[in-house]
Chain A
Amino acid sequence: MAKKEIDDRFKKFGTVSFTSISKVNDFVDYLEKGKVMATKCKDCGQIFFPPRADCCNCFTSNMDWQEVTGKGKLLSYSKLEYGPVGFGDDLPYSIALLDFGDYKVFGRLASELSDQDVAVGMEMTVEANTLPNGQINYVFKKA
């Protein structure tokens, strides 16, 4: 018998991933192709970010993938001078939250943005990003 293959694609997400197996592992494939994706329930139409496999309104799992596009408004951010174990090489970096209207996206500001470039309320876009350690995530850039 061939050994059953484990789909652990999610371990590639972020500097350090704490999850390897998820029903939304396709998120990682899309990200590798440069697309940041949300899921949309085929039954009620709600868009979910972060993407989820199951709809808690309909109790169904009929999901479509939908790309996160356009501009989001920067709701808040913070630049970290200390990081958790495994994140030391990324320091300093900023975590942030964008509002796209129907949903919000939590992530990081692009590392090239300086403090002067960033202000609450500014418009930003989200882009797939490869990290120095070969992992992938997404970052926010000035729109």
Chain B
Amino acid sequence: MGKVGIIGVGQSAFVRGYPGSIRELAFEGFKEAMTDAKISAKDIDASVICSSPEYDKQRSPAGTLAEYFGLTPQPTFYVETLCSSSSTGLKLAYSMVKAGLHDVVAVVGFQKMSEITSAESQERMGRGADIQWESPFGTMMPAYYAMYARAHMAKYGTTSEDLARIRVKAATYGQINEKAVYRKAVTFDMFSDPENAMSAPVASPLRVGDCCANADGSSCVIVANEEKAKALCKKPVWILGVGAASTAVNMAGRDLFTGLTVGEQAGAEAYKMAGIGPKDVDVAEVHDCFTIAEMMAYENLGFAKPGEGKDLIKSKETYKEGSIPVNVDGGLLSKGHPIGATGGSQIRTIVLQLRDEAGEMQVKDPQIGLVHNIGGVGLYGNVTILGR
């Protein structure tokens, strides 16, 4: 079996309150990827549709979207792993192509979070955890990640200021990413100004500025087998490694609170498959739903030793000019986090980087890129390694 390549990527702008239906939103990412790949719907052999269904009023969106995209009568599949749905979709597409079932597969991620109210959306996010034993206590996503932040601070002396530095970096690049929902600057001083919204507590020790921006959005990644990829695309980007892992939903079933085991395990699997190590990665997208999540990703992926993530951001090594640029598209923090679309958008960023087409965000001459995408509170981990 040959390699599997990515021949087209696209995403909608990530926005608040998308003025259209889910099929119209999803079409934006699909259209851009198809235009990028310069192919037509008949060239696609199957589609994988990814979202988190509790936000959708449409039951089983795969059929609806496939019809709207002109992708019938080809088979379509629906995939869900919360915030990492479209990375899981990519792994499924990779597997189907590798198995020889299909030659060209479109992976479409979308989420119209504004289908429901912000309060309903928060309630649903809490139910991404254990609804029998945890949700009755009134859990929310920020509070779970805050528990990781608290444990990280207690063990390693990480501070709220260290976390704020990650937010400042994200905003540096969100400002130059025309697809980002949050285009404004965030300064370090905002976090120490009690009058500034960024410093308002959400779930201690996390503050408003530590939390990602909710958004509506869509993404699309088109994968093909080696023969088709070479025939259809001048600069295919190759999938070198895919890793995935899961863990206990309930915090009580876990042993590590200063990092995410699924990030470590998915990373180790992807590195092994690609035959590379952390030092070989030239540019990375990591799942920064909260600042602490990016800090833990540095350590779980081996960019820093456990407890030394704070030094990496302090020395600005994860900025565009640093030794390991991370989230130079604004990340989930500034670009936005439309659950089902996020993984595909991260993949798109790395593909553009490896094609030297990332514009102002371009890192110098990257050969290998990595995407780290987490579902739930470290419940599902997905790491994808891409190369030129």
Contacts and interface: CB of A to CB of B under 8 A. Distances in A.
Interface string A77-118: 111111111110010010111000001111110000001000
A19 B250 contact: no
Nearest to A108: B137
Given A77-B147, A78-B147, A79-B203, A106 B138 contact: no
Interface stretch (A1-9, A10-18, A58-66): A10-18
Contact of A83 (B140, B205, B251): B140
A58 B122 CA distance: 37
A76 interface: yes
A87 B140 CA distance: 11
Interface residues of B, number: 40
Contact of A97 (B130, B201, B205, B251): B251
A40 to B, nearest CB: 15
Interface string A41-66: 00000000110000000000000000
Given A18-B131, A82-B202, A95-B147, A106 B251 contact: yes
A121 interface: yes
Nearest to A49: B252
Interface stretch (B8-16, B84-92, B148-156, B365-373): B148-156
Contacts of A80: 138, 140, 142-143, 202-203
B133 A50 contact: yes
Contact of A84 (B122, B154, B202): B122
A137 B136 contact: yes
Nearest to A115: B204
B143 to A, nearest CB: 4
A143 interface: no
Contacts of A82: 122, 140, 142, 202-203
Contact of B252 (A18, A105, A108): A105
Given A15-B136, A78-B146, A120 B151 contact: yes
Given A50-B250, A76-B257, A81-B203, A17 B136 contact: yes
Given A50-B130, A95-B143, A137-B136, A75 B257 contact: yes
A69 interface: no
B119 interface: yes
B202 A81 contact: yes
B123 interface: yes
Contacts of B136: 13-18, 137
Contact of A104 (B137, B138, B206, B252): B252
B21 interface: no
Contacts of A106: 130, 133-134, 137, 250-252
A85 B250 CA distance: 21
B252 A14 contact: no
B203 A90 contact: no
B139 interface: yes
A74 to B, nearest CB: 10
B252 A95 contact: no
A75 B130 CA distance: 18
Contact of B154 (A16, A93, A107, A121): A121
A138 to B, nearest CB: 9
B132 interface: yes
B194 to A, nearest CB: 14
A15 B202 contact: no
A116 to B, nearest CB: 13
Given A50-B250, A78-B204, A80-B143, A120 B154 contact: yes
Nearest to A81: B201
A13 B257 CA distance: 26
A79 B123 contact: no
A10 B135 CA distance: 13
A86 B119 CA distance: 10
24 contacts: A14-B136, A14-B138, A16-B135, A18-B127, A75-B257, A76-B151, A77-B147, A78-B150, A78-B203, A78-B206, A79-B203, A80-B142, A80-B202, A81-B202, A82-B203, A83-B138, A84-B119, A84-B123, A85-B120, A95-B134, A97-B252, A104-B251, A104-B252, A106-B251
Interface of A: 10, 13-19, 22, 49-50, 75-87, 90, 93, 95-97, 103-108, 115, 120-121, 137
